[in-house]
Amino acid sequence: MTEHIVLDRRAAVARILRDRGDALAIASLGNPTFDLAAAGDCDQNFYLWGAMGGAVMVGLGLAQAQPEKRVIVFVGDGEMMMGLGSLATAAVHAAPNLSVVVIDNEHYAETGMQPAHAGRGVDIGGVARACGFQKTLLVRTDAELEAAAGSVLNGQGPLLATIKVNTEPQPTALPPRDGPYLRSRFRTALLGEDAHR
């Protein structure tokens, strides 16, 4: 288990997105969705809400379909453990514009803060490297976060950054929950108003 984790999840996500430009962001269920919304809900955000385990695959498909745009996938450590196979697929397809950010509090926050695999010795970055990711980052400090933000936004992908965050509770920041609305606004952000004709 990592000792004395100091980073705040909301501040970490906000820092990564501070200079995002037209980057697209996908968030898995629970806290990553709330963190992304708290950093600023916008048309370039897509929230998966209940599709646990699928965020990296959605991000990979989007990165392949939109090769000129950076795609950032925000997942919790529990979601990433559920979708480990997606790391192998992402590595094989090697989308250069894909970044996966694992917000790792080493607990299952959605089900009662039980200790999770990442807090019991599982190295998610090590798994990604074994799958073929050329670049993985482990972020524990503000200085490491500053350095990682540029790589997440501009580095050669596929890239995985594991950001160790504390378990301090955060207020819920709810983005829209209407699936058709989220789909339509995201599609319009990508393809313009003609996307619906």
Q: Residue 153 belongs to a domain with what CATH number?
A: 3.40.50.970
My answer on whether omega of the bond before 158 falls inside 30° of 0, hence cis, is: yes
User: Which residues on adjacent β-strands are paired with residue 115?
Assistant: 107
Side-chain-side CA neighbours of 73 within 13 Å: the count stands at 34
Q: Which domain holds residue 79?
A: 9-110+129-192
Q: Is residue 180 part of a domain?
A: yes
CA distances from 158 to 56, 125, 163, 171, 174 (A): 11, 12, 16, 31, 29
Q: Which two tokens stand for residue 81?
A: 């453990």
Please state the domain count of the chain: 1
Q: Is residue 121 part of a domain?
A: no
Cα dihedral across residues 129, 131, 133, 134: positive or negative: positive
The residues of the chain scoring below 50 in pLDDT are 1-2
pLDDT of residue 107: 64
pLDDT of residue 69: 95
pLDDT of residue 1: 45
pLDDT of residue 2: 47
CA distances from 191 to 82, 110, 175, 195 (A): 31, 34, 22, 5
Q: Is residue 94 part of a domain?
A: yes
Q: Is residue 2 part of a domain?
A: no
pLDDT of residue 103: 94
Q: Is residue 164 part of a domain?
A: yes
Q: Is residue 44 part of a domain?
A: yes
Q: Is residue 123 part of a domain?
A: no
CA 63-69-73 angle, to 5 degrees, is: 50
Residues ≥6 apart with Cβ < 8 Å to 71: 23, 24, 25, 26, 59, 62, 63, 95, 97, 98, 99
pLDDT of residue 118: 66
| Tally of CB atoms within 10 A around 56 | 26
pTM of the model: 0.91
Residues ≥6 apart with Cβ < 8 Å to 26: 46, 48, 55, 58, 59, 62, 71, 72, 73, 74
DSSP state of 155: S
